[in-house]
Structure 1
Amino acid sequence: MSSLNSPSDLSSAESISPAEQRNGRLSLLYIDESSNNRGLGEGVVLISLEGFVWEQALRLGWKASNNDAEYESLLAGLRSAEHFSAKQLLLFSDSQLVVNELTGVYETRDERMAMYADRARDLLKKFQSIRVEQIKRDRNSHADALACLGSSVDAKDTRKVWVEFVPEPNITSPVLCNNLDQAGWIRYLFF
């Protein structure tokens, strides 16, 4: 658990509820990356004070490392948070490197990672407060699913994906009526 310019009353990631989110005036930001043989993708989930959920699946169009992709997802998430006028952020990432470089626990030695960290810090200055927390992968499944989508789609075009809840099967069992006598059903046909 790490903080950057955070107020003392921010709740822990493990126990934050929607009411605490609203009372703490926090927007929640989850980021992740995914790589496979088709490419690299990023996932961003931003949850506003009002409960609005902004989801992004992004695909990187160049060869990059997993750490590059983690930072790219962070930058995309911070730009989205700024776009939606978030003031206080609780940022979740499962990347030990990104979290620890942002919070100063790790010294950024790689020149490319230093450029990413500097750009992220510039964006972080646009918020009143931010808290950065490393979470386990299983607590980042929403952003991970979007990152997997981004890494799997082989297209350069922007897409919109509609996710629909289907509460019951789209087929129904036929209703059989077997309590009519044989002559009775014929009567209904001719009237």
Structure 2
Amino acid sequence: MGVGRVVIEADGGSRGNPGPAGYGAVVRDSASGEVLAERSEAIGVTTNNIAEYRGLIAGLEAAAELGAAEVEARMDSKLVVEQMCGRWQIKHPGLRPLAAQAAALVGRFGAVRFTWIPRERNKHADALANAAMDAAAGKPPREAARRAAPSAGEPAREVAAPDSAARVRAREVAARAATGRAGTDPATVKPSWEPR
């Protein structure tokens, strides 16, 4: 039996860019805030942005396993949120297959909304990502990871409406990402941000 509506909090990081990296994802019941699933993993040496996408994918997979019908994905990565909403191009070739994988998972839900949140409101997922990196480095887990608390604070800023248009746009992004094609018409080119 499915859980209805859930909130995913996802994060990823690297110690150096690229550097040793990991991700964390938390799935919560949207009504009670109860933690339904946690995912974290060290993923070797890679970039921060790749780790952020891996965190999103892990969260979406966990939500799908729980049978969620609707998802709000909250991240402190402006890049991932804007790319998944289709407003920024995905120029980096290493991110395209990850964006395509995430978009394919988005299509499994009735509605998905992507929301940017400040880093301080993403502490649980951040703690999981850091714990995974610590474990890979042979360090003891940080106390924050063992006692990560639910996010609190001001309401999240919604950046994509939870309607079918967002899902359609995500599929378009995935299609472009999978083929490596980007629009060449200046009227359709979206602003993009690339890491140095």
Tell me whether 1:154 sits opposite 2:126 in the alignment.
no
Larger radius of gyration: 1
Correspondence for 1:74? 56
Correspondence for 1:33? 12
How far 1:54 moved relative to its partner?
1.4
Equivalent of residue 24 in structure 2, options 43, 55, 60: 43
Ranges of 4+ aligned residues in structure 1 off by more than 4 Å? none
Tell me whether 1:101 sits opposite 2:83 in the alignment.
yes
Report the AA paired with residue 26 of structure 1: R
Correspondence for 2:161? none
Question: Using the alignment, how far apart are the partners of 2:74 and 2:39 within structure 1?
Answer: 15
Structure 2 unmatched ranges of 5 or more: 139-144, 148-196
> What does 1:84-123 correspond to in 2, within 5 Å?
84-123=66-105
User: Normalising to structure 1: TM-score of the pair?
Assistant: 0.65
Given that 1:41 and 1:152 are in contact with CA atoms closer than 8 Å, whether structure 2 keeps it comes out as no
SS in 1 for 2:60: helix
Correspondence for 1:56? 39
Correspondence for 1:188? none
Question: Using the alignment, how far apart are the partners of 1:36 and 1:111 within structure 2?
Answer: 21
- Cα root mean square deviation, aligned: 2.7
Higher relative contact order (CA 8 A, sep 6+): 1
Could you give the per-residue CA deviations for residues 101-126 of structure 1, whole angstroms, max 9, x where no partner exists?
00011011122212211111111000
Question: Using the alignment, how far apart are the partners of 2:79 and 2:136 within structure 1?
Answer: 28
Correspondence for 1:137? 119
Given that 1:78 and 1:123 are in contact with CA atoms closer than 8 Å, whether structure 2 keeps it comes out as yes
Q: Alignment identity in percent?
A: 30
Could you give the per-residue CA deviations for residues 124-170 of structure 1, whole angstroms, max 9, x where no partner exists?
000000000011000101111111101111279xxxxx957xxxxxx
Question: Using the alignment, how far apart are the partners of 2:97 and 2:146 within structure 1?
Answer: 36
Given that 2:14 and 2:46 are in contact with CA atoms closer than 8 Å, whether structure 1 keeps it comes out as no
Given that 2:6 and 2:27 are in contact with CA atoms closer than 8 Å, whether structure 1 keeps it comes out as yes
Report the AA paired with residue 42 of structure 1: Y
Number of corresponding residues: 138
Q: Which moved further from structure 2: 98-107 or 38-47?
A: 38-47
Question: Using the alignment, how far apart are the partners of 2:90 and 2:137 within structure 1?
Answer: 33
Structure 1 unmatched ranges of 5 or more: 1-21, 157-161, 165-191
Distance 1:143 1:52, change over 3 A: closer
Correspondence for 1:7? none
Distance 1:46 1:155, change over 3 A: same
How far 1:48 moved relative to its partner?
2.6
Report the AA paired with residue 55 of structure 1: E
How far 1:29 moved relative to its partner?
0.2
Question: Using the alignment, how far apart are the partners of 1:60 and 1:36 within structure 2?
Answer: 12
User: Normalising to structure 2: TM-score of the pair?
Assistant: 0.63
Report the AA paired with residue 53 of structure 2: Y
